[in-house]
Structure formats: C-alpha cells, structure tokens
Amino acid sequence: MRPLKITVREATTGPVLQIAGDLDHETAPELRRAVEGLTLAAGRLLVLDLAALEFCDSSGISALLTARNLAGEQGGDIALAAVPANTARILGIVGLDRVFAIHTDVSAATARGSAAH
C-alpha cells in the first residue's frame, strides 16, 4: 500500500488537489477531510489532479463522488484531471465518466474554467 498524499494549491478557477498514492478504504477519509476543509465559492471549480494516483478502489470512487457532492453543495463544480487508465476504465464501466468532467491534465481543466468534458 502506498500512502496517500494530498497537496492543495490555488488556480485561477479554484482549488486544485493533487492526489498521489493509493485511494482506498483506508485513505478515502483523507480525501473527504481535505475537500471538507476547502471553501469553494459559488461558480468556482475544484480540480482533482489524479496524475500520481497509483490505485483506486470502490471506496476511492465513493470519495470522488463525495467530493463532487461537497463541491456542488457550495455552489461549485468539480473536474478530474490526468485520470490514470485503470481508474478511467472503472469510471467508464460504472458510467461515472458521464458524471465527472474529465480532462487530460490540470492545464486543460483550468484553462476552460468550467467542468465541460
């Protein structure tokens, strides 16, 4: 198991969380806490940068959905960036590729300033 590391930075569109390591049953609560600790102004975009994500199980997918819900509750939106192939495959199988805006990288997500696919 690789430890989860979450790094937060600010982009012009809103916060960017870089998620590295394993997002699983043991570490998913860390992502939930990180997102709960953010203040996302209405109309802002939360970007989850998954370029360094090594592993994501069903608890990790649930944590991504929780992050989406929390962003929406604050009037913001969410986008996933640099989703690893194995995680993208899971998102596609369960239909979440139609729920999340998915971008090739953080620059693409923040350049649009929206959560468009």
Residue 42, exposed/middle/buried by CB under 10 A (0-12, 13-18, 19+)? exposed
Domains of the chain: which residue ranges? 5-112
Q: Whose CA is closest to 116, among 70, 63, 79?
A: 79
Q: Whose CA is closest to 48, among 82, 72, 85?
A: 82
Q: Whose CA is closest to 2, among 60, 55, 62, 57?
A: 55
3-state helix vs strand vs coil in the chain, percent to 5: 40, 30, 30
What is the CATH topology of the domain spanning 5-112?
Transcription Regulator spoIIAA (3.30.750)
Full pLDDT tens readout for the chain, 117 residues: 789 999 999 999 999 999 999 999 999 999 999 999 998 989 999 999 999 999 999 999 999 999 999 999 999 999 999 999 999 999 999 999 999 999 999 999 999 644 444
Give how far the C-alpha of residue 78 lies from the chain's centroid of Cα atoms, to the nearest Å.
Answer: 7
Q: Which helix (H) or strand (E) holds 73?
A: helix 58-73
Alpha carbon distance 48, 76 (integer Å): 13
